[in-house]
Structure 1
Amino acid sequence: MTPAAPAWPEIDWRQPAFAPCGDHGRRALACLREGAAVHQALRQAAGASPAPRFVPQAALPAGEPYESFIHRTGAVPTRDNLHDLFNGLVWLACPQAKRRLNELQATEIVRRGVGPTRGPLRDALTLFDENGAVLDAPLPLWQALLARDWRRLFAEGRALWRQARLMVFGHALLEQLATLPRKGLTAHVLCAPAGAAAIAPEDGAIAQALQPAHLAAKPFAPLPVLGVPGWCAANEAPVFYDDPAVFRPARRPPPAR
């Protein structure tokens, strides 16, 4: 018996979290609703762009690591679910950054092998790939974020967010925002490497910032994304932030920028 096709959700591609994937996402969802598999829909959505080849999950040989296969063949095994759809859409939006992540993962697998633990670099790469984000914002917002001073970040600094750009990179986080948006959803924002002023939320800049030594130190700042002005209508009310289960104070010194 052929398994039932997933029920694809309605996604407002104008929303800030989804806008970077919007053009490809609209085309891919239209194909999916006509019965295409996810790898086929992503190929159609890519058009003439220099995207990787999306192939069915069955193309991944038994025993070969997913990241190694992509690095060896240039093809991305893809399952028929929303998680892999968003993974493919991030590949289409940020091909340089995704290739850099894959290169670092594959190199680390060759160096360390596949064991019960990934090691600090692969842990950081996976965290960013699944749940990462990039923020370009005025210095006072960065200072408040790194200090986890949520009132300063979201209330006193609210007007400054008009000068900020936040891009969700992690495909697991995008999936959660599409299916079960909730206050506690938290991005891991990548802090810039030493000597860099910031990371622009653009493909080439993200790829350049993915430096192994920097990533291995896990230079991430947690950001509850629905607290960002304009990302959730409910956060217009100041009481939204009076939730210590989500907007927690810092427990340790923030990562250096």
Structure 2
Amino acid sequence: MSDDPLKIPQSFVFDRPPLADWASEFASLSPGQRWPSIVELEELRVQRERSDGIPRPHFVAQSRALLADGLHYEERIRGGRVATREDNWHDLLNALVWLRYPRTKSALNEAQCVDIGRVGARQRTRAQCAMTHFDEAGAIVLCSDPELVALWDQHDWHGLFWRRRDAWNVRIAVLVFGHAILELALQAERFLVAKCIALAATAEQVARVAANTDEGHAMVDARVAAAIAAGTHLRDPQELRPLPLSGIPGWNPRSEDESFFADAPCFRPLRADRRYPQPDQA
């Protein structure tokens, strides 16, 4: 590990989602003591590959020599290397997402590289923007209740988070995918809004996700990766559903107060011209 202490803000942010859902990964790296080194991240990558048989690119220290290869960041990943900065929350959390959701991260990388090959590294397509938004700020929502989707469609945040608060982790559950959202969650006062892919699910599948199980992670990882590979998702940023994560019961202390859903700036009304794709069917 690095000699520098891991700079952790108020510790209670690790006691609630989304960071609490990553407790096993943090425990594997002992982040409460020192920053994990690139070598330790690599050791954990090898362990995961041996466990599930899913390949992941190597974590390599970002250096001038590495960047001198002239490759786009995504092209370098396609070649098997993720440029990773030492002692950096953003890159540490990105590594943890690679460890948990390797299929989805690989599908994103492949789709990005296909677009880069088509338009060049200096241009960005609408699909590339959508993929970047999801990679950085994405979440995956599983829902077994169409009425909850209807509330979400209308940005009825009071209904979704307050009147139907009993449905959370029973009929609807969320997995945070974007490492930038996880980084923002280190600041206890921040309101978190994710850009989401919605999946239709059974109550049993929602329960697996709500329990934060490896089985649930693997199921979601496979479904989202397949959708990305099929080209049915992330074609445009407007297809991503915004979800104020801070409204989910237990994710922010203020969500226990009904007035929060009228006062907080993260609960924005629906634009007149905004429509969302329906949840992806299994």
State whether TM-score is above 0.5.
yes
The number of aligned residues is: 246
Contact 2:134/2:178, CA 8 A, preserved across alignment: yes
Q: Secondary structure at the match of 1:214?
A: coil
Alignment-derived partner of residue 103 in structure 1: 110
1:246 Cα shift?
2.0
Selected match of 1:236 from 256, 265, 275: 256
Gapped regions of structure 2 (runs ≥ 5): 50-55, 206-216
1:13 Cα shift?
5.0
Change in 2 beyond 3 A, CA 1:34/1:159: closer
Q: Secondary structure at the match of 1:111?
A: helix
Selected match of 1:253 from 240, 257, 274: 274
Q: Does 1:83 align with 2:90?
A: yes
Alignment-derived partner of residue 129 in structure 2: 123
Alignment-derived partner of residue 43 in structure 2: 44
Q: CA RMSD in A?
A: 2.5
1:47 Cα shift?
4.9
Q: Secondary structure at the match of 1:136?
A: strand
> Which amino acid in structure 2 is aligned with residue 49 of structure 1?
R
Give the structure-1-normalised TM-score: 0.86
1:187 Cα shift?
0.3
In 2, Cα distance between equivalents of 1:66 and 1:180: 31
> Which amino acid in structure 1 is aligned with residue 26 of structure 2?
G
Alignment of 1:45-60 (within 5 A): 45-50=44-49, 51-58=56-63, 59-60=66-67
**Residue deviations 1:76-133, cap 9 Å, x none?**
1101200000000000010111111111111111111112x41111101100000000
Give the structure-2-normalised TM-score: 0.78
Q: Does 1:168 align with 2:176?
A: yes
Alignment-derived partner of residue 139 in structure 1: 146
> Which amino acid in structure 1 is aligned with residue 82 of structure 2?
V
Change in 2 beyond 3 A, CA 1:213/1:111: farther
Alignment-derived partner of residue 26 in structure 1: 27
Change in 2 beyond 3 A, CA 1:6/1:66: farther
Percent identical among aligned pairs is 33
In 2, Cα distance between equivalents of 1:179 and 1:7: 15
1:15 Cα shift?
2.8
Contact 1:121/1:212, CA 8 A, preserved across alignment: no
> Which amino acid in structure 1 is aligned with residue 254 of structure 2?
A
Q: Secondary structure at the match of 2:48?
A: coil
1:54 Cα shift?
0.7
Q: Secondary structure at the match of 2:233?
A: helix
In 2, Cα distance between equivalents of 1:170 and 1:101: 12
Q: Secondary structure at the match of 1:118?
A: coil
Selected match of 2:187 from 174, 179, 183: 179
My pick for the range that moved more, 62-71 or 21-30, is 21-30
In 1, Cα distance between equivalents of 2:146 and 2:89: 35
Gapped regions of structure 1 (runs ≥ 5): none
> Which amino acid in structure 1 is aligned with residue 61 of structure 2?
P
Contact 1:221/1:254, CA 8 A, preserved across alignment: no
In 2, Cα distance between equivalents of 1:20 and 1:206: 19
1:48 Cα shift?
1.5
Q: Secondary structure at the match of 1:215?
A: coil
In 2, Cα distance between equivalents of 1:44 and 1:179: 29
In 2, Cα distance between equivalents of 1:230 and 1:41: 32
Runs (4+) of structure 1 exceeding 4 A deviation are 10-14, 198-201
